[in-house]
Chains A and B, each alone.
Chain A
Amino acid sequence: MSTPITTATAEAVKPARMSRRSRSGLLHGLMTNRKAMVGAVILLVFILLALLAPVLFPGNPSRITAMASQEPSAEYWLGTTAKGQDVLALTVHGARMSLFVGLAAGVMSTIIGILVGLTSAYFGRAIDETLSVVTNIFLLIPGLPLLVILAAFMPPGVGTVIFVLIITGWAGSARVLRSQALSIRSKDFVAASQVTGDRAGWIMWREILPNMASVVMGTLLGCIIGAIGAQAGLEFLGLGDTSTVSWGTNLYWAGNEGALLTGSWWVFLPSGLCIALVAFALSLFNYAVDEVTNPRLRTVKKRSATAPLSRTEDAT
């Protein structure tokens, strides 16, 4: 997480030289966008919590430390589960697995999406047709049932969860990235690069990909959001690895031990709120990327105001 911040400050120092490049424009736009900053702060807090979990709550978080089903108190801030585990420790430790799986599956799906989308758009014709049909099939087959039967046939474990999330997650990003790559593919500088004899892989990597950085960013965030949500759903249904501690498995155990029926809302609330906060932060960030790169979506005062778009921050 430290690298993007250092590059961002570095670019803020010398904006004059860098501002012509689209990527630094994106970063600068994000730095001054309130939605992006709120999202980044929330994410940073969770990442810190995840990294510091072993320090804050040393030892195995699922060990039984207290009386069962205690309400939140000074000693156990979020109360205890029906088994007598500390809910706060479970929640903080849960961040590690949830964020890791979400990030891993999201990044992998995006990489596959980039490969398929770029290949499809660059080579066109039969390759494009075939890859598009495959992509569309994966988009159409309902994701959750596919996740469930894949998970049911494979041995339970974190690897399985990540694998099935990638299988169901890559197609959406491939479609978006393909259409973006198609429009860049038809630009003159790509043709120029072809004429100078650059290899296909080089053109895709150096000419096309950098020009769609913002779309890649958007799909990456979308993939991570999707992966975190799908992971939670899968684990909630009991199809993940129930022996690990993550927000999804916390909710699975909460449901299994009848936390709501006995009125132990404190067991149930924290993990769900954490998933929501992370997803919300990612969505805010995604929304901000959209706003920065697509001037039409910036909030304007009135529809009929045809004056030049004001670059003021919207007041949400």
Chain B
Amino acid sequence: MRFILRRIGFYLIAFWVSITLNFLLPRFMPGDPISRMLSRSQDKMTAEQVLQLQKLFGMDDRPLIQQYVSYIGDVLTGNMGVSISRFPTPVSEVIASQIGWTLLLGATSLIIAALIGNLLGILAAWRRGSLIDSALPPFLIFIGSFPYFWLAMGALYLFGIVLGWFPLRHAYDSELDAGLSWAFISSVAYHLFLPALTIVLVSIGGWMLGMRNTMIATNSEDYITMAEAKGLRSRRIMLRYAARNAMLPSVTSFGMGLGFVVGGALLTETVFAYPGVGYQLLTAVQGLDYPLMQGLFLIITGAVLLANLLVDIVYVRLDPRVRTH
């Protein structure tokens, strides 16, 4: 329990840092982007909304500390202003309508990549010098060297434009009604396939190499020799003795991996025109929509921190050693 409490404390600090960063950026950056943004869109807004945005971005005369306190209050109550580019929708509503897609894409590809990657890592470490061990890692490193967005665009070009197997944009067929119908779900899966595949392809190598290297270290432990001496079957030793213990670092990297995938969603969703928070973040940046940009950054950070907390809780269940101190 103390471990979890410490972690929660840490995540709270991390979240506070990102809120503070959000607070400081518009106030201390050169060039005054906020007034540019406001002057561009002033005519669409009511005086009250302009005033609220000015407050949010520090264009009032109150002392800094007072602005800071009210800013934190605003953020914690979910009041992040109105979006400029999708005026007059509040930022929180824009985000709520899109985060689901990002989580779906991120979680699907992360779980698939972690499963396959770890399995390949286990096999590679168990059969050192086999084809999996010697040919696959260099190949995966090579794949992983490509800029992700470039591979994604290549896949889109090949499978979407040239072969026409997969849709070019969006998360589902817009002629269908959203709902739990078979047609809708299969359409979602169909649109999900190519983006998820590209993420899996580039991230699988990291999982595999990490798992392989911990497995190699685990294989030289005495209890493995002991299990071999007892005459246990090789498969059993591999999965129940070695892999189980070598899994722990992979569990930790799962949280990090989620941050990577959700952050990387920016590129995935841009290439595949997938309607998630990453795509929205880029649109917000292009449209100088600072309230939306900042709200998205906070939400993405918050989601990643939360996921890491969940991973920590799982970790405590898996590894009794952290429970004792």
Using CB atoms and an 8 Å cutoff, list the residues of chain A in contact with chain B: 133, 136-137, 139-146, 148-150, 152-155, 225, 229, 232-233, 236-239, 251, 255, 260-261, 263, 265, 268, 272, 275-277, 279-280, 283-284, 287, 296-297, 299-303, 314-316
Chain B contacts of A143 at CB under 8 A? 259-260, 263
- A209 smallest CB distance to B (angstroms): 25
- A179 smallest CB distance to B (angstroms): 13
B138: Cβ under 8 A from any A Cβ = yes
- One of B13, B33, B213 near A137 (C-beta < 8 A): B13
- B112 smallest CB distance to A (angstroms): 20
Chain A contacts of B14 at CB under 8 A? 136-137, 140-141
- Contact assessment for A316 and B156 in the assembled complex, using a CB-CB cutoff below 8 Å: no
- A271 smallest CB distance to B (angstroms): 8
- Contact assessment for A280 and B142 in the assembled complex, using a CB-CB cutoff below 8 Å: yes
Q: In chain B, residues 135-174, which have Cβ atoms closer than 8 Å to a Cβ of chain A?
A: 135, 138, 141-142, 144-151, 153-154, 156-157, 161
Q: Could you tell me the distance between the alpha carbons of A114 and B42 in the complex, rounded to whole angstroms?
A: 48
Secondary structure dominating the interface of B: helix
- Contact assessment for A301 and B153 in the assembled complex, using a CB-CB cutoff below 8 Å: no
- Contact assessment for B10 and A275 in the assembled complex, using a CB-CB cutoff below 8 Å: no
Most chain A CB atoms below 10 A, which of B30, B144, B260, B262: B144
Q: In chain B, residues 1-60, which have Cβ atoms closer than 8 Å to a Cβ of chain A?
A: 10, 13-14, 17-18, 25-26, 29-31, 33
- Contact assessment for A137 and B17 in the assembled complex, using a CB-CB cutoff below 8 Å: yes
- Contact assessment for A237 and B266 in the assembled complex, using a CB-CB cutoff below 8 Å: yes
- Contact assessment for A233 and B148 in the assembled complex, using a CB-CB cutoff below 8 Å: yes
Closest B residue to A134 using CB positions: B17
- Contact assessment for A302 and B293 in the assembled complex, using a CB-CB cutoff below 8 Å: no
* With known contacts A141-B301, A238-B286, A280-B142, A268–B270 Cβ distance under 8 A: no
- B151 smallest CB distance to A (angstroms): 8
- Contact assessment for A153 and B33 in the assembled complex, using a CB-CB cutoff below 8 Å: yes
- Contact assessment for B25 and A300 in the assembled complex, using a CB-CB cutoff below 8 Å: no
Q: Could you tell me the distance between the alpha carbons of A296 and B217 in the complex, rounded to whole angstroms?
A: 8
- B18 smallest CB distance to A (angstroms): 6
- Contact assessment for A142 and B263 in the assembled complex, using a CB-CB cutoff below 8 Å: yes
- A251 smallest CB distance to B (angstroms): 7
- One of B10, B216, B264, B282 near A296 (C-beta < 8 A): B216
Chain B contacts of A287 at CB under 8 A? 141
B134: Cβ under 8 A from any A Cβ = yes
Q: Could you tell me the distance between the alpha carbons of A245 and B300 in the complex, rounded to whole angstroms?
A: 31
- One of B26, B138, B145, B262 near A316 (C-beta < 8 A): B138
* With known contacts A140-B305, A296-B216, A303-B128, A145–B267 Cβ distance under 8 A: no
- Contact assessment for A275 and B133 in the assembled complex, using a CB-CB cutoff below 8 Å: no
- Contact assessment for A260 and B153 in the assembled complex, using a CB-CB cutoff below 8 Å: yes
Q: Classify chain B's interface size.
A: 35 or more
B308: Cβ under 8 A from any A Cβ = yes
Q: In chain B, residues 216-244, which have Cβ atoms closer than 8 Å to a Cβ of chain A?
A: 216-217, 219-220
- Contact assessment for A141 and B138 in the assembled complex, using a CB-CB cutoff below 8 Å: no
- Contact assessment for A316 and B31 in the assembled complex, using a CB-CB cutoff below 8 Å: no
Q: Could you tell me the distance between the alpha carbons of A296 and B216 in the complex, rounded to whole angstroms?
A: 8
Q: Could you tell me the distance between the alpha carbons of A230 and B301 in the complex, rounded to whole angstroms?
A: 18
Q: Could you tell me the distance between the alpha carbons of A229 and B146 in the complex, rounded to whole angstroms?
A: 8
- Contact assessment for B25 and A133 in the assembled complex, using a CB-CB cutoff below 8 Å: no
Chain A contacts of B278 at CB under 8 A? 145
- Contact assessment for A145 and B216 in the assembled complex, using a CB-CB cutoff below 8 Å: no
B281: Cβ under 8 A from any A Cβ = yes
- B1 smallest CB distance to A (angstroms): 20
- Contact assessment for B216 and A272 in the assembled complex, using a CB-CB cutoff below 8 Å: no
- One of A145, A150, A260 near B301 (C-beta < 8 A): A145
Chain A contacts of B294 at CB under 8 A? 149
B320: Cβ under 8 A from any A Cβ = no
What are 12 contact pairs spanning A and B, CB under 8 A? A136-B10, A142-B301, A145-B301, A152-B290, A154-B29, A155-B31, A233-B149, A233-B267, A237-B266, A268-B157, A279-B145, A302-B128
Closest A residue to B146 using CB positions: A276
- Contact assessment for B263 and A283 in the assembled complex, using a CB-CB cutoff below 8 Å: no
B86: Cβ under 8 A from any A Cβ = no
- Contact assessment for A145 and B146 in the assembled complex, using a CB-CB cutoff below 8 Å: no
- Contact assessment for A145 and B10 in the assembled complex, using a CB-CB cutoff below 8 Å: no
- A201 smallest CB distance to B (angstroms): 29
Chain A contacts of B263 at CB under 8 A? 142-145
- Contact assessment for A300 and B282 in the assembled complex, using a CB-CB cutoff below 8 Å: no
Chain B contacts of A237 at CB under 8 A? 266-267, 270, 282, 285
Q: Could you tell me the distance between the alpha carbons of A234 and B97 in the complex, rounded to whole angstroms?
A: 26
- One of B156, B256, B267 near A139 (C-beta < 8 A): B256
Q: Could you tell me the distance between the alpha carbons of A252 and B88 in the complex, rounded to whole angstroms?
A: 31
* With known contacts A139-B256, A303-B219, A153–B29 Cβ distance under 8 A: yes
